[in-house]
Amino acid sequence: MRRRTAILTTGAVVAAAAVGAGVLVYGGGESGGGGSRGKKPPATTTITRADLTLSTTVDGKVDFAQRRPVKSAVPGTVTVAAREGARVGRGQALYELNDKPVSLLYGPVPAFREMKPGDRGSDVLQLERNLVTLGLGAGIYVDPRYDEATAAAVKEWQKSLNRTPTGRVGKGDVVFQPGEVTVVRADAALADQVGPDTPVLTVASTRPVVRARLEQTDVSLTAPGTRVEVTLPGGTVRRGKVAGTVRPDQTGPGTPENSITVEIALDGGASGVSREDAEKSASVRFVSESRENVLTVPVEAIVALRGTDGGYGLQLVEGGTSRMVRVETGMTADGRIEVSGPLVKEGLRIGVAAE
């Protein structure tokens, strides 16, 4: 849900807003040096320095990056279902099929076949790397060949898993993923029958992200690198950046077709993010532009100048009188506008439109 949008207002738009708010439209055509003296206005304020920020705030949800399904490679019965919320590392079981663990190993190549002595390939190479990392098979020479040393290491591994030590890695015995994963959803329950290409669970990386939905009109905020401030459900404020957009099929049912879902990477990774945060909405503030330490005045203090030169001015109050000085306007946010000019200084008193 969108809660607030601050917009940039310059030029003629400022004049229109000022007139609409009941501010003075001055008929003189004086230059930047100042105008003739006049009476003191009924209401005044001062020029102050402040930081202006243009932002849009929407609701978001804490999630994990790179969601993807894990499908069964062979038919069977789920005898131990995946545990939602679990972090699974190298050599650990994602779930059990037909009373045998399906183990997670690291690597980019999927497990697409049975691996046995005599086989060659990149899948064999990454299997051997995993076995060595797990402390198995000291005699393995890591290469693309599945030799007797590889088979011996596999047997040792199978014994540690209480499996029959065949020396072969059957199709469906392992799942290769890029690294440690978080189980975000169990797609198959205990005793479910699964077949080839049946999703058993959905995993993601262990890196927390925040997903937020924006309207098509906010497309400029979806650019990678856009600064974001996230208030987690517990009240902790974290900074982050837009990492990219999420495909519609990853956002779940009920997502409006004309919306854009962005994924936000939090600075500092998983630090301070709890599982409970994923159950409630977070507040996501997108910062599209900011100006630091600039001179600002209330928007209603801006005067639209008529005459040959036009432009905008401020009614500078000096003692019991006032004079009009020309100013340049800049960014507007939260009811204040940036001003500059040779006669504009912090602390000067100016007139504002009477309510």
> Cα(79)–Cα(98) distance, rounded to whole angstroms?
6
Query: pLDDT exceeding 90 applies to what percent of the chain?
Result: 65
Of residues 166 and 309, more confidence is placed in 166
Top-confidence range, 133-142, 150-159, 255-264? 150-159
Could you read off the pLDDT of 116-129 as tens digits, one per residue? Answer: 999 999 999 999 99
Q: Is the pLDDT of residue 23 over 70?
A: no
Distance separating alpha carbons of residues 141 and 148, to the nearest angstrom? 11
The DSSP line for 331-351 is EEETTEEEEE-TT--TT-EEE
pLDDT at residue 297 in the model: 97
Q: Tell me if the pTM is above 0.95.
A: no
Q: Where in 198-253 does DSSP place strands (E)?
A: 199-205, 208-215, 227-231, 237-245
Helix axes 122-133, 148-160, angle to 10 degrees: 50
Q: Are 175 and 70 in contact (CB under 8 A)?
A: yes
Domains of the chain: 4-54+291-351 (2.40.420), 57-65+206-290 (2.40.30.170), 71-204 (1.10.101.10)
- Specify whether the CB–CB gap between 246 and 227 falls below 8 A: no
Question: For the segment 247-306, what is each residue's pLDDT rounded down to a tens digit?
Answer: 765 555 555 667 899 999 998 877 778 766 777 899 999 988 889 999 999 999 999 998
Report whether pLDDT(36) > 80: no
**3-class secondary structure, 26:** strand
Supply the pLDDT for residue 285: 94
Give the CA-trace dihedral at 124, 125, 131, 135, to 10 degrees: 160
Cα separation, 58 vs 5, in Å, equals 9
- pLDDT beyond 90 at 139: no
Q: Which amino acid is at 266?
A: L
Kindly list the distances between the CA atom of residue 144 and the CA atoms of 122, 129, 265, in Å, as whole numbers in the listed order. Answer: 6, 10, 36
Q: How far apart are CA 102 and CA 113, in angstroms?
A: 14
- In the three-class reduction of DSSP (H, G, I as helix; E, B as strand; rest coil), residue 145 is classed as strand
Q: Token pair of 254, please?
A: 């009920």
pLDDT-based confidence at 20, cuts 50/70/90?
A: very low
- Position 19 confidence tier, pLDDT thresholds 50, 70, 90: very low
172-231, pLDDT tens digit by residue?
Answer: 999 999 999 999 999 999 999 998 889 999 999 888 889 999 999 899 899 999 989 999
What is the reported pLDDT for 24?
Answer: 46
DSSP code per residue over 162-190: T----S-B-TTSEEEESS-EEEEEE-S-T
Q: Greater confidence, 133 or 31?
A: 133
